[in-house]
């Protein structure tokens, strides 16, 4: 079978003889693939000129719904991927992480659309006042980059590696070219075929290179984004590419790292946390046969508990059945290929020069249901390093398989120092029942890690574990781990957006952002805003209310109704030494009184008050003051119908600007109202 590349809207075979791909369990040839003859520059132009404009015209909400539709389809046919995934050496659990974990990223980023406006761009942060009179302000906006995301992925997660990345760039409005590692690209190709066949993604949004992509970086520009997942040495080489440097191309690197797991000094054999520790380390050594960028490579243990850990971990590893994942009872499959197995063996031999193997053997182990010579099998290898501050190979050499090293520490300071000797990691974990130990470790080690897991009996049942990056949290790390970050919820989307500071008059900035800016022109109409449907309301439309004089009786009555008897509202004898001159009105009363002024009481399109944001009481209001309200349409947020029977509606944010007889603002807030649409079909 010949795998094809998806290029310029069609499936294309490479020229000449392709690279052979093999079943990791049996060694049998699966397929071959080639990318010879592909014009990478033409592919990028196609993405920029065909895919990118269509994606940029879509709003964040439309892109999110696109991801949701894709996720729903893929999860409905997930069984298609499991059979092929097994040929990579993956167990059912390994495949679940890759397949359903990858699709889960699509679901997560689809939901993330709700944190963005129903616009093609994003307004970022607060307005910056740039002048005394308020006629000159600044506001940051974020727009999609006008290039393409180039994803160069590792072999260990052929599906998750792709979906975790494209879910982010597609939500941002940027197309992608995916280059999976060739050794397992047959699984990526199957996934891309299913994605393309749905027709859900706009043409040009996704292209696939199954063979070599050598030379692709020669074609990138400053509007493109390159991501790389793999070895630190390869990543550094790509990051230093002349074109990456000259064009200032954003380059995100996620490199394999020497992650660690620390056992707190408070934990003893027999404790729940001790069992959690042993289970977590064993799991991270054997899931995906240790082929995870987040796998535990260094096991940092109190010196007086090294023997206990060695014995307990050895017993648990001995129960891990190695073999063909299709055979009942097999808990660990093979590495992804024979080449990977030989690389791991070489690293194990290097590590053996400075530390002792206390469990496992490179050559003598049993395999169930398969030939261990034909398949890429390797048994778990556990080292003991009795002097990790002197014998430092374990902090520099990574065997990318089921290999880890136990090392002792005397105190928490040493544990932190050992963790840092990895020179930057994607993740570390500490298992402790003492939160003060956890805090000291986190404060000491956080600068060297992208993620830290604190694990104890309270969270173990629901914990996603040491080695599981989550879409809403940053995945990446400093130093050896690459210095980049992926996912991270909204943060991840920002990597594909250009942040631009826009300066001008509030009216101009309002027009650009579709968000009312304080000081912008306000329009008043004969029809009250509460009498208008969602579509009929315009940004900047304002109701200038009648006015009301606040009395001392108002203050006393509100105190009695609310039970808020704070001294400044009720005890004039206690005001000495305070900022108040006399009995002051409750801030919440002023806001309530404002509502009485701006609300139109009749039944109409407004369905309910949805919430309150950014409420500030900026000037004291005393009895005798007269207040009025400038009630302005600030922003409109569309909402999608959950069902045909659902009411079509949107959220309207109103700026409530309460001012006194001097014209000065005394309170300001944003209220959210749910407003019915005129067109109930949308």
How high is the pLDDT of residue 643? 84
The CA distance from 257 to 230, in Å, is 10
Sorting pLDDT into bands at 50, 70 and 90, what band is 17?
confident
Q: Examine the domain organization and report whether 273 and 228 are in the same domain.
A: no
Q: Of the candidates 411, 440, 474, which is a domain's last residue?
A: 474
Q: Is residue 641 part of a domain?
A: yes
Which residue in the list 260, 261, 293, 428 is annotated as catalytic?
A: 293
For the chain, the average pLDDT equals: 94
Residue 326 lies in a domain: yes
Residue 233 scores a pLDDT above 90: no
The CA–CA distances, whole Å, from 209 to 11, 12, 186, 254 equal 10, 10, 11, 20
pLDDT class for 368, splitting at 50, 70, 90? very high
Active site annotation includes 260: no
Look at residue 535 and tell me if it is in a domain. yes
Indicate if the pLDDT at residue 111 is higher than 80: yes
Residue 27 has pLDDT above 80, yes or no: yes
Q: Is 254 a catalytic residue?
A: yes
Task: Among 464, 498, 532, give the residue marking a domain's end.
Answer: 498
Confidence check: pLDDT of 194 > 80: yes
pLDDT band for position 645 (cuts 50, 70, 90) = confident
Q: Which domain holds residue 331?
A: 259-474
C-alpha gyration radius of the chain: 30
At a CB cut-off of 8 Å and minimum separation 6, what does 647 contact?
A: 607, 641, 676, 680
Predicted pLDDT of residue 431: 98
Considering the domain architecture, whether residues 431 and 571 belong to the same structural domain is answered as no
Q: Is the pLDDT of residue 682 over 80?
A: no
CA dist., res. 200 & res. 202, Å (int): 7
Q: Are residues 272 and 238 in the same domain?
A: no
pLDDT confidence of residue 349: 96
Which pLDDT belongs to residue 605? 95
Say yes or no: 332 and 352 in one domain.
yes
What is the tens place of the pLDDT at every residue in 494-519? 999 999 999 999 999 999 999 999 99
The reply to whether 203 falls in a domain is yes
Q: What is the CATH number of the domain that holds 633?
A: 3.10.129.10
Task: Quick: pLDDT tens for 369-388.
Answer: 999 889 999 999 999 999 99
Asked if residue 317 belongs to a domain, the reply is yes
1: pLDDT strictly greater than 90:
no
Note whether 565 and 640 are same-domain residues.
Answer: yes
Nearest to residue 64, comparing CAs of 110, 119, 112? 110
Distance from C-alpha of 150 to C-alpha of 148, rounded to nearest angstrom = 6
Tell me what the mean pLDDT of segment 606-630 comes to. 94
The mean per-residue pLDDT over the stretch 84-88 comes to 91
Same domain, 197 and 340: no
Q: Using CA atoms, how far apart are residues 588 and 460, in angstroms rounded to an integer?
A: 43
Please indicate, yes or no, if residue 195 is contained in any of the structural domains. yes
CA quadruple 99, 100, 101, 102: dihedral, nearest 10? 60
**For the chain, what percent of residues have pLDDT higher than 70?**
100
pLDDT digit string, tens, across residues 140-152 = 999 999 999 999 9
Residues 234 and 267 grouped into a single domain: no
Task: Answer whether residue 7 is part of any domain.
Answer: no
User: Are residues 172 and 43 part of one domain?
Assistant: yes
Q: Mark whether 245 and 374 lie in a shared domain.
A: no
Domain identity same for 550 and 449: no
- Give pLDDT tens digits for 577-604: 899 999 999 999 999 999 999 999 899 9
Task: Please tell me the predicted confidence (pLDDT) of residue 517.
Answer: 94
* pLDDT of 680 strictly over 90: no
What's the DSSP call for residue 394? G
CB atoms < 10 A from the CB of 502, how many?
A: 14
pTM value? 0.91
Do residues 358 and 313 make contact, with C-beta atoms less than 8 angstroms apart? Answer: no
Average pLDDT over residues 562-578: 92
Residue 474, SS3 per DSSP: strand
Q: Of 83, 21, 93, 86, which Cα lies nearest the Cα of 324?
A: 86
Residue 245 has pLDDT above 90, yes or no: yes
**Could you read off the pLDDT of 303-330 as tens digits, one per residue?**
999 999 999 999 999 999 999 999 999 9
Say whether both 435 and 533 belong to one domain.
no
In this predicted structure, the answer to whether residue 156 has a pLDDT above a threshold of 90 is no
pLDDT for res 679: 85
Pick the last residue of a domain from 474, 509, 530. Answer: 474
- Taking 90 as the threshold, does the pLDDT of residue 155 lie above it? no
Whether residue 312 lies inside any domain: the answer is: yes
Contacts of 537 (CB under 8 A, 6+ apart): 529, 633, 636, 652, 675
Q: Does one domain contain both 220 and 270?
A: no
The count of structural domains within the chain is 3
Report the pLDDT averaged over residues 41-47: 95
């Amino acid at each position: 079978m010949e795998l094809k590349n998806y290029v310029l809207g069609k499936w294309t075979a490479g020229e000449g003889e392709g690279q052979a791909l093999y079943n990791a369990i049996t060694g049998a040839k699966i397929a071959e693939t080639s990318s010879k003859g592909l014009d990478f520059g033409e592919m990028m132009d196609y993405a920029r000129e065909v895919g990118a404009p269509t994606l940029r015209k879509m709003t964040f909400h439309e892109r999110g719904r696109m991801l949701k539709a894709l996720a729903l389809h893929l999860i409905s046919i997930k069984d298609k991927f499991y059979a092929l995934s097994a040929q990579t050496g993956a167990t059912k659990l390994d495949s679940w992480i890759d397949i359903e974990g990858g699709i889960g990223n699509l679901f997560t980023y689809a939901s993330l659309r709700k944190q963005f406006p129903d616009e093609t761009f994003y307004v970022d942060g607060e307005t910056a006042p740039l002048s005394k009179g308020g006629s000159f302000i600044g506001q940051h906006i974020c727009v999609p980059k006008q290039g393409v995301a180039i994803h160069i992925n590792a072999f260990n997660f052929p599906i998750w590696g792709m979906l975790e990345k494209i879910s982010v760039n597609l939500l941002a409005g940027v197309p992608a070219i995916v280059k999976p590692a060739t050794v397992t690209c047959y699984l990526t190709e199957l996934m891309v075929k299913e994605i393309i066949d749905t027709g859900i993604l706009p043409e040009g949004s996704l292209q696939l290179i199954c063979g070599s992509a050598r030379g692709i970086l020669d074609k990138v520009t400053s509007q493109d984004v390159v991501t790389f997942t793999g070895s630190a040495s390869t990543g550094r080489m790509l990051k230093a590419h002349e074109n990456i440097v000259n064009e200032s191309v954003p380059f995100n690197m996620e490199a394999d790292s020497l992650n660690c797991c620390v056992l707190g000094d408070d934990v003893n054999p027999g404790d729940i946390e001790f069992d959690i520790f042993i289970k977590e380390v064993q799991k991270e050594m054997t899931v995906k046969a240790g082929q995870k960028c987040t796998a535990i490579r260094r096991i940092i243990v109190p010196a007086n508990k090294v023997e206990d850990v060695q014995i307990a971990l050895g017993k648990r590893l001995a129960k891990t059945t190695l073999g063909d994942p299709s055979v009942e009872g097999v808990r660990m499959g093979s590495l992804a290929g024979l080449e990977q197995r030989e690389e791991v063996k070489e690293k194990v031999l290097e590590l053996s020069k400075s530390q002792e193997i206390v469990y496992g053997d490179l050559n003598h182990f049993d395999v169930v249901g398969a030939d261990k010579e034909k398949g890429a099998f390797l048994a778990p290898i556990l080292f003991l390093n009795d002097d990790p501050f002197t014998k430092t190979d374990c902090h520099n050499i990574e065997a990318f398989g089921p290999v880890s090293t136990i090392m002792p520490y005397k105190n928490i300071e040493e544990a932190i120092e050992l963790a840092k000797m990895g020179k930057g990691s994607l993740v570390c974990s500490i298992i402790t029942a003492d939160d003060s130990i956890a805090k000291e470790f986190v404060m000491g080690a956080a600068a060297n890690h992208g993620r830290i897991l604190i694990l104890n009996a309270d969270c173990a049942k629901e914990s996603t574990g040491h080695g599981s990056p989550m879409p809403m949290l940053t995945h990446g790390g400093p130093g050896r781990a690459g210095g980049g970050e992926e996912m991270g919820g909204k943060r991840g989307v920002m990597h594909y957006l250009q942040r631009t500071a826009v300066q001008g008059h509030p009216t101009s900035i309002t027009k650009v952002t579709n968000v009312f800016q304080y000081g912008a022109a306000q329009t008043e109409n004969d029809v009250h805003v509460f009498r208008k449907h969602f579509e009929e309301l315009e940004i900047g439309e304002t109701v200038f209310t009648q006015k009301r004089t606040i009395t001392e009786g108002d203050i006393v009555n509100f105190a009695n109704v609310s039970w808020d008897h704070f001294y400044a509202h009720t005890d004039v004898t206690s005001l000495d030494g305070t900022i108040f001159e006399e009995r002051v009105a409750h801030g919440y009363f002023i806001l309530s009184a404002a509502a009485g002024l701006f609300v139109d009481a009749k039944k109409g399109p407004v369905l309910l008050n949805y919430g309150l944001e950014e409420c500030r009481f900026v000037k004291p209001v005393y009895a005798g003051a007269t207040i009025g309200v400038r009630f302005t349409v600030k922003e409109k947020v569309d909402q999608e119908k959950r069902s045909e029977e659902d009411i079509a509606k949107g959220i309207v944010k109103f700026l409530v600007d309460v001012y006194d007889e001097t014209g000065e603002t005394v309170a300001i807030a944003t209220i959210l109202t749910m407003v019915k649409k005129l067109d109930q079909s949308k």
